[in-house]
Amino acid sequence: MGELRTILAIETSCDETAAAVVVDGHHTIANVVASQVEIHRRYGGVVPEVASRQHILSIDTVINEALAQTPGGWASIDAVAATYGPGLSGALLTGLNTAKALAWARGLPFIGVNHVEAHMYGAWLSGEDAPQFPCVALIVSGGHTLLVLLRGHGDAIRLGGTLDDAAGEAFDKVARLLELGFPGGPAIQRLALAPAQQERLPRAWLHGTYDFSFSGLKTAVLHADQQAQQTLADQPDALHQRRREIAYLFQESVVDILTRKAKQAVLDTGAVSLILAGGVAANTRLREVLRRRISVPIHVPPFALCTDNAAMIAACAYWRPQIAGWDLAVDPNLSFV
């Protein structure tokens, strides 16, 4: 690519304050993430105001640590990148303004990055062969559920997306309902327990589209839980066990829908590879079923780079260097397809 080989990137779109240095769009030199998960856990979800303040407190330390891990420090950095959307506006502001100020002070180019697009670039950091185009990408995070056809860097076509909740959001809401913990995805994966009898929760197929809907499934979980609460009112252990079974059935439904739609998209488009990205890509059941169903090579970021991080922002900035002006503003609803 160009001469902007070593990129320092900053990510603050939600509840992780992150900075990373990546060389040539695939070699991670430093990847520092200050997670706020313990702070938000007591509220059962991310509180935007709290997230913004925490970013301000953490950002200097996180950037300094990333630079300390980079041989040559600032002298080796060719450009500074930051997420400018989508995400929480107050949270985005901290990372974007810090990155702009640093780039300006150091006389370096500044690159604005779309967070959802960047999730795909975690797949370029796996240490394995790069994904080949055309490629279908299934991006499943706490804020987004999207199927896209990627024909080249910066050349994406939207195939479909969620009509209501994002997949990760559904995991989080269901985990809260079943009192299994926060964040919901990892809690459900850890506690999911197959019921002894054959059972299943509904799947919204939305035939003929690549769209998703998880609201009916959420309602089915609610009803199953209400029934469990009635029948097991005075047996807390048995109720918890039943809730783990409901979590299993929920996960099976989500995985079934995501993998079948992704398979259909690969078949219909003639894609030669598939990228699975976003926080929900950390789900081992999803990875397993996808690998069983799909015949083209599947590229998944390393586990640590599925959830929010700045290495994926740096990789995206390298492969798709959109040099921005100093007036670039945050865009909470930014889309890339």
Chain positions contacting ligand KG4, by CB under 6 A? 14, 141-143, 168-169, 171-172, 183-186, 189, 278-280, 282-283, 307-308
Q: Shortest Cβ distance from residue 195 to Zn ion (Å)? A: 32
Which residues, 6 or more positions from 86, have their beta carbon under 8 angstroms from its beta carbon?
Answer: 13, 114, 115, 116, 143, 144, 331, 332, 333, 334, 335
Residue 15 in the binding site for Zn ion (CB under 5 A)? no
- Partner that binds at residue 31, options Zn ion, ligand KG4, none, CB closer than 5 to 8 Å by kind: none
Of 203-211, 212-220, 248-256, 303-311, which segment contacts Zn ion by CB under 5 A? Answer: 303-311
Nearer to ligand KG4, 12 or 70 (CB): 12
Of 16-24, 135-143, 288-296, 324-332, which segment contacts Zn ion by CB under 5 A? Answer: 135-143
Residue 83 in the binding site for Zn ion (CB under 5 A)? no
C-alpha span between 309 and 33 (Å, rounded)? 6
Q: Where do we find the tokens 């994926």?
A: 312
Nearer to ligand KG4, 171 or 214 (CB): 171
Which H or E element spans position 156? strand 155-161
Q: How many residues bind Zn ion (CB under 5 A)?
A: 2
Nearer to ligand KG4, 12 or 189 (CB): 189
Nearer to Zn ion, 58 or 141 (CB): 141
Tell which residue, 247, 250, 309, 252, has the closest CA to residue 278.
309
Q: Shortest Cβ distance from residue 239 to ligand KG4 (Å)? A: 23
Q: Shortest Cβ distance from residue 317 to ligand KG4 (Å)? A: 17
C-alpha span between 168 and 231 (Å, rounded)? 29
Q: Shortest Cβ distance from residue 307 to Zn ion (Å)? A: 7
10 Å CB burial of residue 58 (0-12, 13-18, 19+) is buried
Q: What is the DSSP letter of 112?
A: E
Q: Shortest Cβ distance from residue 177 to ligand KG4 (Å)? A: 14
Find how far residue 281's CA is from the centre of its chain: 7
Among 11, 165, 245, 308, contact with Zn ion (rule: CB under 5 A)? 308
Residue 16 in the binding site for Zn ion (CB under 5 A)? no
C-alpha span between 42 and 70 (Å, rounded)? 35
- Partner that binds at residue 168, options Zn ion, ligand KG4, none, CB closer than 5 to 8 Å by kind: ligand KG4
C-alpha span between 227 and 72 (Å, rounded)? 61
Residue 141 in the binding site for Zn ion (CB under 5 A)? yes
10 Å CB burial of residue 107 (0-12, 13-18, 19+) is exposed
Tell which residue, 78, 87, 129, has the closest CA to residue 308.
87
Nearer to Zn ion, 117 or 308 (CB): 308
Residues in the site for Zn ion, rule: CB under 5 A? 141, 308
